[in-house]
Amino acid sequence: MRLLVFLEAHDGRLQKDSLGLLSRAASLGDEVEGVLLGSGIETLGADAGKFGAQRVHVMDDILLDAPLPQPRVDALETLLGEHDFGAVLFAASVLSADIAAGLAARLDAGLNYDLTDLSVVDGKLIGKRPALGDSVYVDVGWSSEPRLALIRSGTFEPTESGGTAEVVKFESRLQDFSLAATMVEQAHEESEGPSIEDAEVIVAGGRGLGSPDGFGAVEELAKALGGAVAATRAVVDAGWYPYATQVGQTGKTVSPKLYVAVGISGAIQHKVGMQSSGLIVAINKDANAPIFEYADLGIVGDLHEIVPKLTELVRARKAA
């Protein structure tokens, strides 16, 4: 089966989730190609070869400069009309989800979303997705081609294979209605340190912090560890911390080497967003909190006393 992976690029670099999905697609043993759409991105095409792409189709056009979905739907429709791809794979993001949905409507094609794995069985692509609150996993398929798949963010890590990719340019007519929307301004949230998607260390806070002020100690610990700060849905819904930091079923999926959960009960909705972390440390005064069932190390006690002392110990160790 010939697979096409949508490669999302921002600020002159290919996104981690796209490269992770490309690596996974390449491991399936099929013919894997990428598609890169934007302005000033032609030189990025060859980089995809390092992660398993045999060929990268590039449309470099000033009309694709703004990260808007409909012009990209036009370009993908053209490419799929010229080539016989069995499936188109997207790593979930705000932009790629819009593109995948628009392409499904345009082609009257089936779209499976929130997938956590892919496999090929008897020449057919099979997706795996969580169900019943992520308590079980089910296999899903498609009844027609091209098969469209949207993969949950943070699912696959990029793996360099050392290959090279042939870069092929193509052009597409963009529909008038696709160009009707104009991006007036693109705002970026100001933040310090790594994003939670890329961080190797994450310190996450929950309602157990008691108030928004509790995040001060969480931020200090994250800073001492060289990591990023995350939060639970309840916390961001309460306005204690930005939505961009939410980890969980309706937030982001992360897989750091170290995940420190501070004042987090560990409900299933949060667990699914961080359960693939390398080492999970939980700090909670409730010894019966669900998070202790899957944490590698649990500390029962007052987080307002424990976290500052832990921060001091980390700083002292670094200074030694």
Determine the average pLDDT of the residues in 261-274.
90
Three-state SS string over 9-59 comes to EECCEECHHHHHHHHHHHHCCCEEEEEEEECCCHHHHHHHHHHCCCEEEEE
Beta bridge partners of 8: none
Determine the average pLDDT of the residues in 91-100.
93
What is the CATH number for 265? 3.40.50.1220
Same domain assignment for residues 268 and 210: yes
Cα 116 from Cα 250, distance rounded (Å): 14
> How many percent of the chain have pLDDT more than 70?
97
Is residue 223 a part of any domain in this protein? yes
33-49: pLDDT as tens digits: 999 999 999 889 888 99
Confidence label for 248 from pLDDT (cuts 50, 70 and 90): confident
Same domain assignment for residues 175 and 262: no
- What CA–CA distances, in Å, run from 155 to 88, 133, 161, 231, 288? 17, 17, 18, 19, 29
Structural domain for 302, as ranges: 201-319
Number of separate domains in the chain: 2
Q: Which residues contact 202 (CB under 8 A, 6 or more apart)?
A: 196, 222, 227, 228, 229, 230, 247, 254, 256, 258, 259, 260, 274, 277
- What CA–CA distances, in Å, run from 51 to 120, 185, 201, 252? 19, 33, 24, 23
Cα 139 from Cα 158, distance rounded (Å): 24
What is the CATH number for 166? 3.40.50.620
Looking at 119, 148, 179, the residue that finishes a domain is 179
Same domain assignment for residues 217 and 163: no
Determine the average pLDDT of the residues in 144-157.
90
Q: What is the pTM of this model?
A: 0.78
**What is the model's pLDDT at position 213?**
95
Higher pLDDT among residues 110 and 187, named by residue: 110
**What is the model's pLDDT at position 197?**
83
Q: What are φ and ψ of residue 178, in 5° steps?
A: -75, -25
Determine the average pLDDT of the residues in 87-94.
94
Q: What are φ and ψ of residue 176, in 5° steps?
A: -60, -40
Cα 209 from Cα 60, distance rounded (Å): 48
Is residue 184 a part of any domain in this protein? no
Same domain assignment for residues 160 and 40: yes
E-strand ranges in 54-200 read 55-60, 87-91, 111-115, 117-121, 124-131, 136-140, 147-151, 166-169
